[in-house]
A and B are shown apart, each in its own frame.
Chain A
Amino acid sequence: MRRSLLFIPGNNPAMLQNADVFESDAIIIDLEDAVSISEKDSARDLVRFYLKSTAENDLEIVIRINGLDSKYGLADLKAVVSDKIDTIMLPKAHAQDVKHLVEILSGLEKERGMKKKIGIIPIIELATSVLETEEIAKQARVSGLLLGAEDLTTDLGIERTKTGSEILFPRFQVIYACAANKIEAIDTPFTDTKDESGLSADCKTAAELGMNAKACIHPNQVETVNKYFSPSQKLIDWSLRVIEAQKKAEANGLGVFSLDGKMIDKPIIERAEKVLAKAAKFKIL
């Protein structure tokens, strides 16, 4: 369960060792686009030893590896797969690539006697992937999908705009594929790190459309993203009342009940439970 995922460049010790102070729900340690070709080896070694030095904590650790078609992807996996990480983020992913990654992960986990089963977040950033979103979302171990609008608009040869009408379709693809498969839809980052009101507007839109989380490319974005993707106090209060009313109804042997004149049935109760679980996880209860 995440609201915010903060990208951290993998070859930068100052950012790595401060990654956990920014209060994002997850950090994405980037071995791919944030690292130049000549430094792929440096970054890999740095991240490997950084992970060894960290203590267990609540923060979800995601590693964006290089594509498995490159000469770096497999080396990245061998360097980072351990109980210290939670998720692998796979760039330019198709269903086939995810299947391949699942195989490699299973092998490494067994070989290393790991307790954890590492999750996968494929990035939807090619036109072909967008058309395959549902198939990708169905794959084993996939806990969420990230929309990568920068690379996607490049793939289409169009301009990326702040209002984002050009990415409505891929946003919906990701949202519905994730909802149908009960995984998390993660929105593309807002790239103008100085435009605070632009970020808020983008978060509001994404949340209203049905995105569950958003990637951040600068620590200053985390607070805003967390705010927009957290359940509101109003919603939390309503959910608490629903659960309380449900307990009372059960105690009186009633299956269905009403609250504020509204009939409360199973889907509404489930929604309330989800909201409260989220609120508890994000410590806003």
Chain B
Amino acid sequence: MKIGIAGTLESNDVMMTVKESDTPKIVIESIVYDYFSKQIRDTIVSTLEEMNIKNVDVLCQDRGALDYAIKARLITAIERMEE
């Protein structure tokens, strides 16, 4: 099963786990969920679209990462999954 993990659980960071899946879903766990869950989801969705990735489960364990870090960690996880 192809899986890619990137990032850390440190403050201001995010750990992204992507896994090939027939039933793609995005799960977000965040310490700022009530304030930024929509933004986090939007960043993940748009990044997947940009990279034309369709069949993956994304687990996002967020510790208050900014958008650029969410995007970067997701891309690294995908690159690692595809290696």
Interface string of B42-54 (1 = CB under 8 A from A): 0000000000000
Interface string of B40-80 (1 = CB under 8 A from A): 00000000000000000000000001111101110110011
Judged by a CB distance under 8 angstroms, whether B10 is at the interface is yes
Interface string of B11-38 (1 = CB under 8 A from A): 1110000000000000000000000000
Judged by a CB distance under 8 angstroms, whether A99 is at the interface is no
B11 surroundings in chain A (CB, below 8 A):
14
CB of A42 within 8 A of CB of B7, answer yes
**Which of these, A12, A14, A41, A52, contacts B68 with CB under 8 Å?**
A52
Other contacts beyond A41-B80, A49-B72: 13, CB < 8 A = A12-B10, A13-B12, A17-B66, A17-B69, A41-B76, A41-B79, A42-B6, A42-B72, A45-B79, A49-B75, A50-B68, A50-B72, A53-B68
**Smallest CB-CB separation from A14: which chain B residue?**
B12
**Smallest CB-CB separation from B6: which chain A residue?**
A42
Q: Is the interface of B mostly helix, strand, loop or mixed?
A: helix
Q: How far is the CB of A12 from chain B (nearest CB, A)?
A: 8
Q: What is the count of residue pairs linking A and B with beta-carbon distances less than 8 angstroms?
A: 46
Q: How far is the CB of B25 from chain A (nearest CB, A)?
A: 23
Q: How far is the CB of B41 from chain A (nearest CB, A)?
A: 18
By size class, the interface of chain A is: 10 to 19
Judged by a CB distance under 8 angstroms, whether A167 is at the interface is no
Residues of B within 8 A of A (CB): 6-7, 10-13, 65-69, 71-73, 75-76, 79-80
**Which of these, A13, A41, A42, A48, contacts B66 with CB under 8 Å?**
A13
A50 to B67, CA, bound (A): 9
Q: A42-B6, A42-B7 are in contact. Are A13 and B76 (CB under 8 A)?
A: no
